């Protein structure tokens, strides 16, 4: 691997890198630097934890000259609030000896304060698509001076249903710009975006998204339901020496809160998901970083946005429906050459999803026997309980035609076929009904069948 001092980099940037103890470039950083610096449209595919943020920040900052203009020249879009904060922090570290003004914007906070910050001028603006678009609708944020556009974690961005906002934002930016896309996976939606908006991009695929990090020890357990899994976790995590800093991924906000109430562990537990206030989310991550909380329970909303050192163990409380998400989850541990643990919990209904993960990785995840000390619970959560069938409502829906029933005349059978504006937008941008686990890809798979 090459050292950064061999690159064409400003002394101020090199000094900032050395102060952070960063001297050697990762493969994606080495592959991205020259094409981005040359002004080419660029697509980088690399798995989580390979240094993608630094891969695009270094060439951008190298090419960004001092200016006292008010309007931003670089726009960086990311899918989550946590990633906005993380990218802004990374820029601030790199620009300690360079005069660069950076602003981060995201929802859940006062938009007027963000307007005031933008009005004072900035060089780089980092934001989530929805809040960025809200600001673009005002006269405060002028995107007409954007020269370079970065979309980070573009696959999860599209999975979150941000395509409409992205297209709207593109309308505010001049066509003559440099486009930089980074992703951990290549989906059909990402490919469509590349074909539509990029011009002869340089593509660099550093690693297959299904390739797990070699330093991660992977294990799995089969348990029948939520509370049995919780009992198993209490048993596993009693070993504080091996599992000193644990990140638990779970499938829903309700399950995250319920698991935090159920676990009986020492060392503090924090919970983070999209319904939590922003201050709570920031404090939860900070407690986990400093060790005040030993365990952080999170939904997949931050699977790509959290960058915390020394995570000993990643636990998938639920098996993700799409195998790529498992790779993103376990990428939070075993970083920078350190060893890590990954524990996958699955029920009988999740066996098919587990098989898909193993097929993607082309390896099997070792399955451990349930310890005898772990009690298998018969209690079910409201989501696990079978839904009763209301026979009366079912029968009433099958209405019988009475004597007064008659066939409609042919002219009365016509229906209004005109699409509303909202229907046209939905058809054009294929916006998903709700956030989810690769929902758009799931729809596209159904169409192909």
User: Domain check: are 131 and 27 in the same one?
Assistant: yes
User: Domain check: are 298 and 186 in the same one?
Assistant: no
User: Domain check: are 181 and 233 in the same one?
Assistant: no
β-partners of residue 137 are none
Q: What is the DSSP string of 12-81?
A: HHHHHHHHTT--B--HHHHHHHHHHHTT--EEEE--TTS-HHHHHHHHHHHH------SS-SEEEE-SSH
- CA-CA distance, 163 to 175, in Å (whole number)? 18
202-205 sheet: strands from edge to edge: 102-105, 124-127, 74-77, 148-151, 178-183, 42-45, 202-205
- Residue the block writes with tokens 């409409």: 164
Question: In this structure, which long-range contacts are made by residues 16-21, counting pairs with CB atoms below 8 Å and at least 24 apart in sequence?
Answer: 16/93, 16/94, 16/95, 16/96, 16/97, 17/94, 19/96, 20/93
CA 187 to centroid of chain Cα atoms: 14
Confidence band (pLDDT; 50, 70, 90) for 439? Answer: very low
Confidence band (pLDDT; 50, 70, 90) for 392? Answer: low
The domain boundary, picked from 336, 367, 398, lies at 367
- Residue the block writes with tokens 């011009």: 199
User: Domain check: are 164 and 275 in the same one?
Assistant: no
pTM, two decimals, is 0.70
pLDDT of residue 191: 84
Q: Report the alpha-carbon angle 173-120-281, nearest 5.
A: 80
- CA-CA distance, 401 to 131, in Å (whole number)? 53
- CA-CA distance, 68 to 100, in Å (whole number)? 10
User: Domain check: are 31 and 136 in the same one?
Assistant: yes
User: Domain check: are 97 and 229 in the same one?
Assistant: no
**Per-residue pLDDT for 207 more than 90?**
no
Outline where DSSP puts E strands in 93-142. Answer: 102-105, 124-127
pLDDT (average), residues 138-153? 93
- Residue the block writes with tokens 């006062």: 110
pLDDT tens for 2-35 read 899 888 899 999 999 999 999 999 999 999 999 9
- Could you tell me the CATH number of the domain that includes residue 55? 3.40.50.300
Q: Which residues contact 277 (CB under 8 A, 6 or more apart)?
A: 108
Establish if 333 belongs to a structural domain.
Answer: yes
For the chain, give the percent of residues with pLDDT over 70. 82
User: Domain check: are 175 and 54 in the same one?
Assistant: yes
The domain boundary, picked from 337, 367, 397, lies at 367
Provide the mean pLDDT of the chain.
84
User: Domain check: are 357 and 226 in the same one?
Assistant: yes
pLDDT tens for 162-195 read 888 888 999 999 989 999 999 877 777 788 888 8
Establish if 408 belongs to a structural domain.
Answer: no
Establish if 429 belongs to a structural domain.
Answer: no
pLDDT of residue 22: 92
Establish if 241 belongs to a structural domain.
Answer: yes
| 336 vs 155, residue with greater confidence | 155
User: Domain check: are 64 and 191 in the same one?
Assistant: yes
> How many structural domains are present in the chain?
2
In this structure, the number of other CB atoms found within 10 A of the CB of residue 356 comes to: 17
pLDDT tens for 52-104 read 899 999 999 999 999 888 999 999 999 888 889 999 999 999 999 999 999 99
pLDDT of residue 328: 78
Instruction: Check if the beta carbon of residue 61 is closer than 8 Å to that of residue 98.
Output: yes
pLDDT of residue 404: 47
- Residue the block writes with tokens 């195998």: 323
pLDDT tens for 30-53 read 999 999 999 999 999 887 677 889
User: Domain check: are 94 and 135 in the same one?
Assistant: yes
The DSSP call for residue 225 is: S
Q: What is the DSSP string of 385-414?
A: SPPPP-HHHHHHHSPPP-TT--PPPGGGG-
User: Domain check: are 233 and 201 in the same one?
Assistant: no
pLDDT (average), residues 376-384? 91
- CA-CA distance, 13 to 78, in Å (whole number)? 23
Establish if 244 belongs to a structural domain.
Answer: yes
Instruction: Check if the beta carbon of residue 48 is closer than 8 Å to that of residue 27.
Output: no
Establish if 412 belongs to a structural domain.
Answer: no
- Token pair recorded at residue 127: 């934001």
Establish if 431 belongs to a structural domain.
Answer: no
| 217 vs 309, residue with greater confidence | 217
| Domain interval for residue 297 | 216-367
Task: Please name which of 332, 336, 327 lies closest in space to residue 362, comparing C-alpha atoms.
Answer: 327
**Per-residue pLDDT for 151 more than 50?**
yes
269-272 sheet: strands from edge to edge: 269-272, 295-298, 246-249, 313-316, 340-346, 216-222, 366-367
The domain boundary, picked from 338, 367, 396, lies at 367
pLDDT of residue 420: 64
- CA-CA distance, 279 to 275, in Å (whole number)? 12
pLDDT tens for 399-434 read 544 544 455 555 555 555 556 656 666 665 554 544
Establish if 297 belongs to a structural domain.
Answer: yes
Confidence band (pLDDT; 50, 70, 90) for 199? Answer: confident
User: Domain check: are 171 and 275 in the same one?
Assistant: no
pLDDT tens for 274-312 read 777 777 888 888 899 888 999 999 887 665 656 788 899
Q: Is the dihedral of CA 14, 104, 165, 303 positive or negative?
A: positive
């Amino acid at each position: 691997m090459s050292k950064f001092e061999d690159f064409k980099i400003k002394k101020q940037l090199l000094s900032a890198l050395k102060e952070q103890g960063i001297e050697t470039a990762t493969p994606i950083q080495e592959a991205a630097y020259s094409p981005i610096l040359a002004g080419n449209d660029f697509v980088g595919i690399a798995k989580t934890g390979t240094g993608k943020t630094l891969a695009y920040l270094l060439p951008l900052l190298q090419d960004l000259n001092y200016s006292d203009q008010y309007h931003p020249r670089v726009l960086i879009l990311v899918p989550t609030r946590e990633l906005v904060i993380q990218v802004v922090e990374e820029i601030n570290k790199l620009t300690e000896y360079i005069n660069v003004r950076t602003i981060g914007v995201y929802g859940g906070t006062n938009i007027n304060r963000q307007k005031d910050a933008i009005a004072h001028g900035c060089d780089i603006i980092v934001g989530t698509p929805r809040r960025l678009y809200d600001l673009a609708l005002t006269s405060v944020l002028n995107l007409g001076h954007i020269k370079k556009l970065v979309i980070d974690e573009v696959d999860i961005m599209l999975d979150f249903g941000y395509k409409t906002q992205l297209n709207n934002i593109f309308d505010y930016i001049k066509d003559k710009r440099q486009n930089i896309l980074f992703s951990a996976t290549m989906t059909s939606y990402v490919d469509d975006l590349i074909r539509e908006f990029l011009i002869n991009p340089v593509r660099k695929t550093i690693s297959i998204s299904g390739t797990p990090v070699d330093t991660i020890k992977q294990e799995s357990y089969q348990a029948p339901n939520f509370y049995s899994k919780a009992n198993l976790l209490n048993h596993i995590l009693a070993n504080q020496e091996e599992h000193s800093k644990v990140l638990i991924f779970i499938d829903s906000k309700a399950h995250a809160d319920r698991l935090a109430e159920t676990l009986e562990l020492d060392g503090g537990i924090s919970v983070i998901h999209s319904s939590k206030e922003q201050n709570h989310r920031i404090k939860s991550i900070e407690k986990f970083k400093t060790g005040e909380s030993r365990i952080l329970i999170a939904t997949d909303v931050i699977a790509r946005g959290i960058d915390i050192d020394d995570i000993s163990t990643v636990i998938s409380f639920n098996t993700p429906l799409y195998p790529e998400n498992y790779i993103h989850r376990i990428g939070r541990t075993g970083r920078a050459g350190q060893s890590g643990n990954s524990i996958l919990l699955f029920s009988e209904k999740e066996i098919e999803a587990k098989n898909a993960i193993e097929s993607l990785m082309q390896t099997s995840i070792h399955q451990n026997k349930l310890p005898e000390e772990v009690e298998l619970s018969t209690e079910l959560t409201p989501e696990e309980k079978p839904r009763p069938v209301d026979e009366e409502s079912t029968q009433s829906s099958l209405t019988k035609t009475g004597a007064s029933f008659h066939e409609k005349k042919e002219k009365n059978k016509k229906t209004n076929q005109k699409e509303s504006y909202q229907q046209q937008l939905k058809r054009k941008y294929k916006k998903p009904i709700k956030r989810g686990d690769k929902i758009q890809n799931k729809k596209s798979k159904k169409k192909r069948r």
